[in-house]
Amino acid sequence: MPKTWTRVGVHHNNYLIMSTKLNLRIHSVKCVDETGGWAERFGNDEIYLGGFTVDAGNRSQKIAATSVYADFDDGDIKKFNPPKVFATYSLGPAFNKPRNYVAGFLLIEKDSGDMNTAVTAVYNALRDQIAKKLRERQSSTVLAGGSSSAVMAIDPATLVAIWSVVKPIIYGYVKSKIESWFGDEIFPLQDASVTLLSSDHTFNGQKTSPIAMKEFRGHEGVYQLYYDWQLQ
């Protein structure tokens, strides 16, 4: 292999290149229908986006809320050029088993509340639920005669199993508590996930996935968020 090449995630001249980083990028946010129903004519939406990530080792990270656009009206689109990096995951050393990566999106129409307090509350609930489910998995394995230390090792299936249980709890937490605790209008949580088969994973030979969309409905408003995954 020529000295100028290192392994970083795509094929080039028959050399296989390994990825070391995964980015979740936002391309645009569209206001399909402004919040507020009949009263929306009295003011436009000031939209912020925050959330969290969970990586293949069940490590979580909070994403602070930042401004998307301060004056959304029906039909407005905020485009990011280049795409805005919402989150970055370190892939670490080479791997050859599937790994899953999750992100949660909290779209917020700012009124008078403390957005990042709301994001922190959701993140803390997420972190506590993941820790709880990992302890439960550890206990059940020990009772079955397994090793407690082995349970905490990175398991390619763990995130799928943990997130499938934690997801409805966090969704319900946002709907039943966060929305009523804070003055801002917080849309129902949306999440995105991706599975990497190995360090040499590509999206049909490309370093970036096709653009996907998540739709947020709430507070008599509708927003669409367009995103992709990028390997580096």
Does residue 1 carry a pLDDT above 50? no
Does residue 178 carry a pLDDT above 80? no
Q: Determine whether 103 is exposed, middle or buried from the number of CB atoms within 10 Å of its CB (0-12, 13-18, 19+).
A: buried
Question: How much is the pLDDT for 118?
Answer: 87
For residue 220, report the phi and psi dihedrals to the nearest 5 degrees.
Answer: 60, 30
The whole-number average pLDDT for the span 74-82 is 97
| Span 11-231 CATH architecture | Sandwich (2.60)
Question: How much is the pLDDT for 134?
Answer: 83
Domain ranges (residues) in the chain: 11-231
Token readout for 72 is 């959304």
The answer to whether the beta carbons of residues 25 and 85 sit under 8 Å apart is yes
Question: How much is the pLDDT for 143?
Answer: 42
Predicted confidence (pLDDT) per residue in 206-218, tens digit: 999 999 999 999 8
Question: How much is the pLDDT for 42?
Answer: 59
| Dist CA 21 CA 49 (whole Å) | 22
The whole-number average pLDDT for the span 9-36 is 81
Predicted confidence (pLDDT) per residue in 148-169, tens digit: 333 333 444 567 778 888 999 9
| Dist CA 180 CA 191 (whole Å) | 21
| Dist CA 160 CA 128 (whole Å) | 17
DSSP E strand stretches across 39-117:
45-54, 60-72, 77-90, 99-109
Does residue 146 carry a pLDDT above 60? no
Q: Determine whether 12 is exposed, middle or buried from the number of CB atoms within 10 Å of its CB (0-12, 13-18, 19+).
A: exposed
Question: How much is the pLDDT for 117?
Answer: 87
Question: How much is the pLDDT for 138?
Answer: 74
- Count other Cβ atoms within 10 Å, centred on residue 232: 13
Does residue 12 carry a pLDDT above 80? no
DSSP category for residue 178: I
pTM of the full structure: 0.82
- Label residue 51 by pLDDT band (50, 70, 90): very high
